Amino acid sequence: MDLRGGPEEAAARVEAALAAAAPPPPPPRGRGRPQLGVVAREVTLLPRHWEWLAAQPGGASVTLRRLVDEARRGAVDADAVRAARERAYRFLQAIAGNLPGYEEALRALFAGDAGGFDASTADWPQALREHAQALGQGAFVPLTPS
């Protein structure tokens, strides 16, 4: 301990040393239930939506979670098709942008037209064509508008 100076100076040095060594206070606790993976975020809805949610059994949070889960289950096929199209698109954009039939291949890819895609990529190198088809596997299922 540094006891130089008067008692007030020594006490001030000790307090400063203790404050520097003390762990920082824990951050304020946020909303939600972090142990359960629940995260609080803001949702903007119109008043009529809030009124409807308030009238539902279990309250707004329960109803919103149920609606999101139902929408996720119903969109599994569409999400898989969309992901396959995006995978193939990113590859084609990076690798095949200068090849003949590139734009037609993209149109066929996003239209779900497997025959058009095959015809547009027929003149491409075999390895490139096969890789694009493998990436886009599952992309040639027509999506119904929702």
- Tens digit of each residue's pLDDT, the chain (146 residues): 666 778 888 888 888 888 777 777 777 776 666 667 777 778 888 999 989 988 989 888 889 989 988 888 877 778 888 899 999 999 999 999 899 999 999 999 998 899 999 999 999 999 999 999 888 888 887 655 54
Both 120 and 89 in one domain: the answer is: yes
Is the separation of the CB atoms in 117 and 136 below 8 Å?
yes
pTM: 0.52
Residue 6 domain-assigned (yes or no): no
Residue 17 domain-assigned (yes or no): no
Positive or negative: CA dihedral 78, 81, 85, 87: positive
Both 65 and 83 in one domain: the answer is: no
Distance CA 46, CA 58 (A): 20
Both 53 and 67 in one domain: the answer is: yes
Residue 8 domain-assigned (yes or no): no
CA dihedral 66, 145, 46, 63 (to 10 degrees): -10
Residue 35 domain-assigned (yes or no): no
Both 95 and 61 in one domain: the answer is: no
Both 91 and 69 in one domain: the answer is: no
For the chain, the domain total comes to 2
The domain in which residue 106 lies consists of: 77-135
Domain boundary among 74, 92, 125: 74
Both 106 and 94 in one domain: the answer is: yes
Both 69 and 81 in one domain: the answer is: no
Both 102 and 125 in one domain: the answer is: yes
Residue 108 domain-assigned (yes or no): yes
Residue 32 domain-assigned (yes or no): no
